[in-house]
Amino acid sequence: MEPAKSVRFNRDLHKLILANGQSRNGFDVDNFLVHVNDLIGMQPSDLKAALKRAMDGEEVTVNVTHDDSVDDEYSIAEPISIKFSDGQLSISASFATDEYDDEEATAESFSTLLTPYLKRHRASVTNVEMNPNYYHPLVWDVEISCSPRARDMADLFRIGEGALALLQAFASGELTRETTLDLLRSGNAQVLIGQEEGPWLDVKSAHYNLQSPSGKISIAQAVARFANAEHGGIVVVGMRGKKVPGGEIISDICPVPVNGRTLRSYQTAIEQHLYPPPDYLDIELVPADGGSLVVLHIPPQPEEHKPFLVHGAIVDGSVEGAFISIVRRRGESSIPITAPAVHATLAAGRALLRRGEIPKN
């Protein structure tokens, strides 16, 4: 007996019929609307066969909504849809941006951006083009081909969600500290794989050993590097870096074990070894690959608070608890603030005190 289809097309009703017997209408002859939960367990091969039977024109579109009513007239469709054309299924993501320099170059930049993320998910960009029906803002349509092996349509839809999150973050032209933080907080850490570490991003595959003096000093130094830098930064614990020619890229997600004391342990280590405390330092847990990452966000700090000092230093592999270390971030490496720079800062402060002018904190 042939197994039941996860979705089929009823030609008489012109509806998609789900495995649970529910039916889904369409906007018109070549457009259907389904709920996002309908995609769970829906096999790509079944949907492909159903849409082939339904096709009346050159393409069939399955729009997706989170609205419980699934009303083809009133429900709001997501900017991610499923396309069937030329005998193939693809995922389509639409996003808006206000600026671009050159259509061909912009399309190429979007494709290049998505390639590392999609390759990891056995997918690829098949087309990027500007939608001719929109002008303010400009709307781009990105077509993504996904391998259906061992996946349901919900898996393919989630790949589209990740791609859209990355595109929206990148719409300004490049990833920033703020957009990277948004991606992490929204559970889209996977789209950062293949992206470069840089002046404001550092990743570590495992927890700092916060039971040891060296581990506490190391996390304090990691935060101090960005606190002393011009643009602040983000430290992510639970992502692996990989050296490549010209720098280092994020190569994998490796969630770390957490408990009710994790965040407090990081906070305590920083409080004990970093002075002054950075303004608006955030330490939080974010979801990723079924686990958690520890994300430390260091916003840009007031110049008058610099340099941030770490109580303790690691010299030739040994902990020197009585030392004070001063570090900052430059590119992908850390450099110590020089003795002349420290001396100049102290001398300027002493000169102000001599004149009776005390800087305000």
Provide the number of structural domains found in the chain: 2
* Residues 228 and 339 reside in one and the same domain: yes
User: The tokens of 360 are what?
Assistant: 């305000």
Whether residue 57 is contained in a domain is answered as yes
pLDDT band per the 50, 70, 90 thresholds, residue 219? very high
Residue type at 56 in one-letter notation: D
How do the residues of the chain divide into helix, strand and coil, expressed in percent and rounded to 5? 30, 35, 35
User: The tokens of 207 are what?
Assistant: 């927890």
User: Measured between alpha carbons, how far is 233 from 308 in angstroms, rounded to an integer?
Assistant: 14
User: Measured between alpha carbons, how far is 59 from 87 in angstroms, rounded to an integer?
Assistant: 9
User: Measured between alpha carbons, how far is 204 from 51 in angstroms, rounded to an integer?
Assistant: 45
Whether residue 61 is contained in a domain is answered as yes
> Residue 333: its pLDDT value, please?
46
Average pLDDT over residues 87-102: 85
* Residues 34 and 162 reside in one and the same domain: yes
Task: Give per-residue pLDDT as tens, 301-346.
Answer: 998 888 899 987 776 666 666 677 787 765 444 445 566 666 676 6
The angle that helices 153-170 and 44-54 make with each other, rounded to 10 degrees, is: 90
Q: What's the number of CA atoms in the CB half-sphere (13 Å) around residue 116?
A: 16
Model confidence, pTM: 0.64
Question: 112 vs 294, which has greater pLDDT?
Answer: 294
* Residues 32 and 166 reside in one and the same domain: yes
- Give the CA distances from residue 106 to residues 101, 175, 177, 213, in Å, rounded to whole numbers and listed in that order: 7, 15, 21, 49
* Residues 92 and 39 reside in one and the same domain: yes
* Residues 203 and 303 reside in one and the same domain: yes
Q: Which of 143, 174, 205 is the last residue of a domain?
A: 174
Sign for the CA dihedral angle at 260, 261, 262, 267 comes to positive
User: Measured between alpha carbons, how far is 140 from 361 in angstroms, rounded to an integer?
Assistant: 47
> Residue 330: its pLDDT value, please?
56
Task: Give per-residue pLDDT as tens, 126-154.
Answer: 999 998 887 777 889 999 999 999 999 99
User: The tokens of 161 are what?
Assistant: 């969600």
Domain that holds residue 337: 197-354
Q: Is 53 helix (H, G, I), strand (E, B) or coil?
A: helix
* Residues 139 and 288 reside in one and the same domain: no
Whether residue 122 is contained in a domain is answered as yes
Q: Which of 174, 206, 222 is the last residue of a domain?
A: 174
Nearest alpha carbon to residue 6 among 54, 45, 61, 59: 45
* Residues 231 and 347 reside in one and the same domain: yes
Task: Give per-residue pLDDT as tens, 263-305.
Answer: 999 999 999 999 999 999 999 999 998 899 999 999 999 988 8
Instruction: Give the CATH number for residue 223.
Output: 3.30.950.30
Whether residue 361 is contained in a domain is answered as no
Residues in Cβ contact with 355 at an 8 Å cutoff, skipping those fewer than 6 apart: none
Q: Which residue has the tokens 């002008």?
A: 135
Angle CA 116–122–123, to nearest 5: 75
> Residue 173: its pLDDT value, please?
56
User: Measured between alpha carbons, how far is 76 from 206 in angstroms, rounded to an integer?
Assistant: 41
* Residues 205 and 341 reside in one and the same domain: yes
User: The tokens of 231 are what?
Assistant: 């643009």
Whether residue 211 is contained in a domain is answered as yes
User: The tokens of 149 are what?
Assistant: 């092996």
Please report, in angstroms and rounded to a whole number, the separation of the first and last CA atoms in the chain.
79
* Residues 130 and 215 reside in one and the same domain: no
Mean of all residue pLDDT scores within the chain: 86
**For 37, which DSSP code?**
G
Query: Any bridge partners for residue 249, and if so which?
Result: 196, 242
Whether residue 2 is contained in a domain is answered as no
Reported in sequence order, the residue ranges of 5-45 that DSSP labels E, i.e. its strands, are 7-10, 15-18, 23-24, 26-28, 31-35
User: The tokens of 327 are what?
Assistant: 């570090």
* Residues 347 and 216 reside in one and the same domain: yes
User: Measured between alpha carbons, how far is 208 from 155 in angstroms, rounded to an integer?
Assistant: 33
> Residue 2: its pLDDT value, please?
59
Whether residue 345 is contained in a domain is answered as yes
> Residue 313: its pLDDT value, please?
75
* Residues 248 and 337 reside in one and the same domain: yes
> Residue 322: its pLDDT value, please?
63
- Looking only at the bridges linking them, the beta strands covering 233-237 and 201-204 are parallel
Average pLDDT over residues 48-64: 91
Average pLDDT over residues 90-95: 94
* Residues 136 and 46 reside in one and the same domain: yes
Whether residue 16 is contained in a domain is answered as no
